[in-house]
Chain A
Amino acid sequence: QVQLVQSGSELRKPGASVKVSCKASGYTFNNYGMTWVRQAPGQGLEWIGWINTDSGSPTYAQGFTGRFIFSLDTSVSTAYLQVNNLQAEDTAIYYCAREPKLLDSWGQGTQVTVSS
């Protein structure tokens, strides 16, 4: 069955970077894109963007350009989200989800906490 398994919780200081991983199994990795979604505490879902796992081409939402970087390691069917120069407002749960058109499988979420 399709499964997306994300890396564990992270605690960082402001200005630091974090890299979240999302390992896929149960399907052909480069046949489906990978979407990233953010959910701040008590808030709704925000679409960060997605990466074409076949071409490696990323698309970012407005407000997520510059500090947010998607990458892939297709040899281990894993997608990554790196966030640089972390701010307190980046404290959130970050989810990966398969495909941009319909998010039919989701990772369990990774809590990223930014605090001095």
Chain B
Amino acid sequence: DVQLVESGGGLVQPGGSLRLTCAASGFSLSSYAMNWVRQAPGKGLEWVSGISGTVGATYYAASVKGRFAISRDSSKNTLYLQMDSLRAEDTAIYYCAKSDAIVLVDKRNNWFDFWGQGTLVTVSS
């Protein structure tokens, strides 16, 4: 069975850093596009970042570009999100989500078929 388990969330001051981890099981991370999607308290969903399977090309929402970095360790079957220069508006539950597609490009089957339970990131002084 596919499972995604996030960890690494917590309370951090504005300007601080945090690294989120998503441990995957039941499939190979590098065979699919993987994503981070966040949800601010009581709000909707926002796609934050993604990484294509195989080649590993990375993509970011404009709101986090230059501050966040997505990566993966295929040997550990684990996805990461390094978050730097955090702001209050980054406060959210961060979900790891698997795409049905291999690559994260236009006109592919990039719906999210499996989600983790999420990890809460709170940016506050």
Our verdict on whether A and B bind, yes or no, reads no
Instruction: Give the interface of B toward A (CB within 8 A).
Output: none
Instruction: Give the interface of A toward B (CB within 8 A).
Output: none
